Amino acid sequence: MERADIGLIGVGTMGSALALNIADKGYDLAIWNLKMLSVDALIESAGNLAPRLHKCDNIANLVNALTTPRVIILLVPAGQAVDDSIDGLLPHLSHGDTIIDGGNSDFRDTIERTNRLEKLGFSYLGVGVSGGEEGARWGPSLMAGGTRGSYESLEPILTSIAAKYNDDPCVAYLGPDGAGHFVKTVHNGIEYADMQMIAEVYGLMRDGVGRSADESALFFQNLNRGVLQSYLIEITGEVLAAKDPDTGKEMVDVIVDRAGQKGTGRWTVIEAIRMGQSASIIEAAVGARVLSSEKSTREIAAPLLVPAGVDNQVNFSEEDLESALIVGRVLAYAQGFRILNSASDEFKWELEFARIAEIWRAGCIIRSAMLDEIADAFRTDLPEGRLILSGHFVEVLTQNVAGLRRIVSSAVLLGLPVPALAAALSWFDTLRQARGTTDLIQAQRDFFGAHSFMRVDVEGNHHGPWHNLKN
């Protein structure tokens, strides 16, 4: 056979879809998978693209089937599978070849792998791929980090397969080593928060005012025509309108309320806390997924933990629900970009936040109409570099925060959980306090540990008179 343009290892859901996308753009692929039957199934389903997909029996044959310098994409589970794939490739590669990790790898692993492979004379790109199966097939958002020269040589391929927003490809080189994978991690953290807040609004409609899934579907469909237009709002309307083909019931009502997770939301929270940044909304979303897994405990607790003090007469409007989601989304984006800012400083990535917002406008899961305004905001001189201090978003928050406040209050009075929306409101209220209450915490720390504190009137570190008062 003629030499293939690109190698691909891993043809799971994302790998298969991306293979078809790449083939559709005129490139031939050499493909290997641990389970070769998956390669056969892909080729059989590829239709007129099948001639561009070439099955290889082993890694050595895959490498030998490629034009040089070689480009090999890994779409395998994060962790050991990536290292195993790299180790299998190395004996067969030549200087100047490039490996692309398109999975959800921990960015710290990507930093280590980049350093290792560059020392051996190879190039390594960690590319975050967002958009799920549909995005991978028809155009994902691509967040690239690693060797700049390798990215530039591969940019025509990546540009061709990426989603387009008004003809602007949703792909960018974001920085060295782990930059791309870190941005993808935070993207997923924001995704966790957005999904959780949407679910909380659905819960208020279902359990607070007794709306059916069909009725809630109409609400979200209407939301998708306004400020909240986004992929997640769109699919929420579709999901809630769907019927179970076996029972005829509303589909969402036959699904067990136990949410899975792959780890990226948790990684976002861990790294944020390590860098001294708040990820309270994302953390609440991660915590809600964790608690959802305790299904048996919740079923036992339901009749035992009686929500004393609830008020079933509480009412709220659809406008309040919309406002709550608007504010929650703005604040979730704001937390995410603040985390990116801290990582950019720490790892010297020089991330371009406006460009990140732009490549999220199509292809990815958190694509929304709001991202244009976010990109515009980052191209202005933001106070403290804070997204929520831009003139536009100050106005958005001012107009809508009362609705969020009414929704959180109503949920509390109804005994319904809204952990992410409540976290968003608390974060907002904390930020708007010029003087908070951590002066007391500093006093306590000094009392029991002599940790000292700063005074408002005198420079330097000081201690209180606590122990003198006890004498």
pLDDT tens for residues 42-61? 999 999 999 999 999 999 99
The gap from C-alpha 423 to its chain's centroid, in whole angstroms, comes to: 18
Cα–Cα distance measured from residue 378 to residue 371, given in angstroms and rounded to the nearest whole number: 11
Q: What Rg, from alpha-carbon coordinates, does the chain have? A: 25
Structure token digits, residue 136: 């991978």
List the chain domain ranges: 6-177, 185-431, 438-470
| Domain 438-470 indexed as CATH 1.20.5.320 | yes
Q: What is the pTM of this model?
A: 0.94
User: Per-residue confidence at 262, pLDDT binned at 50, 70, 90?
Assistant: confident
Fold agreement (6-177, 438-470): no
Mean pLDDT value across residues 82-94:
96
Catalytic residues: 184, 191
Cα–Cα distance measured from residue 165 to residue 361, given in angstroms and rounded to the nearest whole number: 7
* CA-wise closest residue to 386 among 424, 425, 430, 336: 336
| Domain 6-177 indexed as CATH 3.40.50.720 | yes
Mean pLDDT value across residues 65-69:
95
Residue 471 confidence (pLDDT) above 60 = no
**Which sign, positive or negative, has the C-alpha torsion 143, 148, 154, 156?**
positive
Q: Identify the CATH homologous superfamily for domain 185-431.
A: N-(1-d-carboxylethyl)-l-norvaline Dehydrogenase; domain 2 (1.10.1040.10)
User: Per-residue confidence at 1, pLDDT binned at 50, 70, 90?
Assistant: low
